[in-house]
Amino acid sequence: MGDSDSTLSDSNEAISERISETSTRVSAVAIPPTKKQKYSSSFQDSWAQNQDYKDWLVKVDSLTAKCNACVVKFTVKYEGEKAVKTHLKSKGHFAAINNRTTNNLITAFLPRKNNAEESSVSIIEIAQVYHGVNHHHSYLSTDCAIKLNSKLYRDSALAKKVHCGRTKAEAIVENCLAPKSIEDVLEDMQVNTDTSSPFSVLSDASNKGNQKLFPVAVRYFSVKNGIQNKLLDFVENNDESSASVTNSIVKSLQKCSLKISDISSYSADNASVNYGVHNSVFTKLLDLNAELLKANCNCHVIHNAGRNASKALSYDVENLTLKIYAEFSNSAKKCEALKDCFEYLEIHYQKMLRHVTTRWLSLYSALDRLLRCWPAVKKYFLDLGEDNCDKNVWKFIKSQEHELEDDLRSEIPLSECYIYFVHHYMNILNTHIVKLESNRLSSTELHEIMSDLKEQIIQRQNDQFFGSKVSAALKYLPANQKQIFLKEANLVYKKLLDYLDKYYDFQNSPFQYFDCLNLE
């Protein structure tokens, strides 16, 4: 009995140990925890309308928001609106909001888009600048006029808002008016179409201080408006070589999508760089377009013919006009003395005109004014006497030093015959120059104008006609003086014809074949 109890007790202990060991092993095995279910949030459009968020909160996508004040993005996937509130209370956001309220963006100073009033102001400013450019006003003058308008029209809200200083006016011209004008020209020329217009190219050199500028212009025929002369480009180039000028012209044309093959002629002054035989702008353009015509400036030809012919005269009439203008141009006292001479002879006072040697129209105008005032001018210098008078001027008037005032009007001595003769032939030259300078002149009229000029000179040479005043005076001149004058006057006509023949080809000019197309 005792042994069986002992055996049973040992069995129970063994079972207990096994159970304990099994429990230990079971507890050693990791039991996975129960998973907690998670929820995600998305951006709600109502947040952007919230009074606290609408000034800075922006939706990026369904899970992301952006703060415009801090310029940062943050997720709302896990916390939803709580993430927005957390960002709202952050120090960085608070500082960004304070900076935003104290510092305005540059856009606050710019005109708002689609604002009718601001658009009206812009239109007024552009119109004012265009008006100034069209009438050759300076930017300063335009700015002054705009400021005056704002004070004159105080009841106008628009006038008060119009401001256009030099910098702004220049920007409007360069970035608004100039591109628009070129666009209109190219549209009128029908560029990039099958019916694009042939055109002539014109260039010149212009100095402004230490700048060398080359305007590039075109001349073409418009069905709507007839012959048109338009400025296409203004190039700054300090290199006056033929290669550089040609390159500038080609670049200006290519920039406007104009074809070199459409150029009908090249026009410029008669400098060798433009029309030299071997290395000139014309020859280089001729290499690019074999059908190019030479359209040099015949106004220069006529002007130079007149100046060259006057060298045959023993009296320098051109120098006379320069000396007389210089006498009165800078002296109020001398002008008053001259006015007294006008009043004494009962002649209406007229100011002397300045002759500029590089301008072909100024000599005739200055000489014409001088002849209208000649009795009074002559009396002024005679009153001065030989000692106080310029010797070049005295040469013209010394023969009448002791004449009476009445004779100053009627008698025409030899020296004055030269003045009237130069005035006579300069009038012929000037008339034809004005015709050539017409904006409506076409190639069909050129040869006729040049031929008519030559014929008029030949006719006067054959008729020995030197002007009505001279013809009347020659009857009373001594024979020796008359012979001297006729010899020099005929030489002037000869030099005029020789110069015209040298620089205009009357026999083989291509423009003579266009003459039959002239409908006028």
* Residue ranges covered by each domain of the chain: 45-106, 116-185, 196-296, 304-513
- The overall longest dimension of the chain from CA atoms, in Å, is 194
Is the per-residue pLDDT at 392 higher than 70? yes
Note the pLDDT tens digit of each residue in 228-280.
Answer: 999 999 888 888 889 999 999 999 999 988 999 999 999 998 888 999 888 89
CB 215 within 8 A of CB 233: yes
Strands (E), 143-270: 199-203, 206-208, 211-222, 226-236, 263-267
Instruction: Identify the helix (H) or strand (E) that includes residue 75.
Output: strand 72-75
Report the alpha-carbon distance of residue 445 to residue 395 in Å, rounded: 43
Helices 116-134 and 139-152: crossing angle in degrees, nearest 10, is: 130
Pick the CATH number of 196-296 from 3.30.420, 3.30.460, 1.10.640, 3.30.70: 3.30.420
Strand blocks (E) in 196-257: 199-203, 206-208, 211-222, 226-236
- Cα distances from 87 to residues 53, 57, 80, 83, 166, in angstroms, run 10, 10, 12, 6, 49
Confidence of residue 494 (pLDDT cuts 50, 70, 90): very high
User: Quick one: pLDDT at residue 9?
Assistant: 54
pLDDT-based confidence at residue 82 (cuts at 50, 70, 90):
confident
Residue recorded with tokens 């070129």 = 182
Mean pLDDT of 323-350: 92
Residue 372 in tokens: 């209208």
Q: Please say whether the dihedral angle defined by the alpha carbons of residues 311, 314, 315 and 316, taken in this order, is positive or negative.
A: positive
Q: Which of 353, 397, 355 is nearest to 376 (CA)?
A: 397
- Residue 34: pLDDT over 60: no
Sequence-ordered strand ranges (E) for 223-339:
226-236, 263-267, 293-294
Question: Residue 494's closest CA among 292, 266, 237, 309?
Answer: 309
Task: Assign 8 a pLDDT band (cuts: 50, 70, 90).
Answer: very low
Q: How confident is the model at residue 112 (pLDDT cuts 50, 70, 90)?
A: low
**CA–CA distance from 105 to each of 101, 102, 108, 110, 119 (Å)?**
10, 10, 6, 10, 22
> Average pLDDT for residues 20-27, to the nearest whole number?
53
pLDDT band at 25 (very low <50, low <70, confident <90, very high): low
Residues in the chain: 520
Q: How does residue 488 score in pLDDT terms, banded at 50, 70 and 90?
A: very high
- The whole-number average pLDDT for the span 297-317 is 91
DSSP assignment letter at 519: -
pLDDT of residue 26: 45
pLDDT of residue 6: 52
> Can you give the pLDDT at residue 11?
56
pLDDT at 236: 87
Report pLDDT digits (tens) over 281-293: 999 999 999 999 9
Q: What's the mean per-residue pLDDT of the chain?
A: 85
Inter-residue contact 500 to 455 (CB < 8 Å): no
pLDDT band at 35; cut points 50, 70, 90: low
- Please tell me the predicted confidence (pLDDT) of residue 12: 57
